[in-house]
Amino acid sequence: MEFEHFGINVPDSTAMANWYVEHCSMRIVRSMDSAPYTHFLADETGRVVIEIYSNPADPIPEHSAQHPLRFHFAFAVPDPTAVKEKLTAAGASVFEEQRFDDGTHLVMMRDPWGVPLQLCKRGTPLISQS
């Protein structure tokens, strides 16, 4: 089985897609210009895809009211501090920052719509690149 995507219902999927493209190096691989304004966004590697849409068929959750441990988007970055500053300037907010003895540095943030996103620099990569 191969993971295809993770989907999330948000209040303004078009604006959110554009923000992730501009500030998180994502690219739109498929989109709809009519309701529910679905956008599939791929990361720089093209192997991870998120689907964002605005579909009133189910109430859109108030993402900012949910703890980031419920779910979050996590991005591997070489310098979490620099990316944190860039995203903060673009309207994101910091929730929590952690450093661990193995060199791991994690920054939990919320995008401008309250959706949790995490910046990760791992002391030991989760998956070996061999």
User: Is residue 114's pLDDT more than 60?
Assistant: yes
What does the alpha-carbon distance between residue 85 and residue 97 come to, in Å, rounded to a whole number?
Answer: 13
Helices 13-24, 80-89: axis angle to 10 degrees equals 140
Can you tell me the mean pLDDT for 116-129? 89
- Which domains are assigned to the chain? 1-56 (3.10.180.10), 68-130 (3.10.180.10)
What is the model's pLDDT at position 74?
96
Residue 130 pLDDT exceeds 60: no
User: Which residues fall within 8 angstroms of residue 76, CB to CB, at 6 or more apart?
Assistant: 120, 121, 122
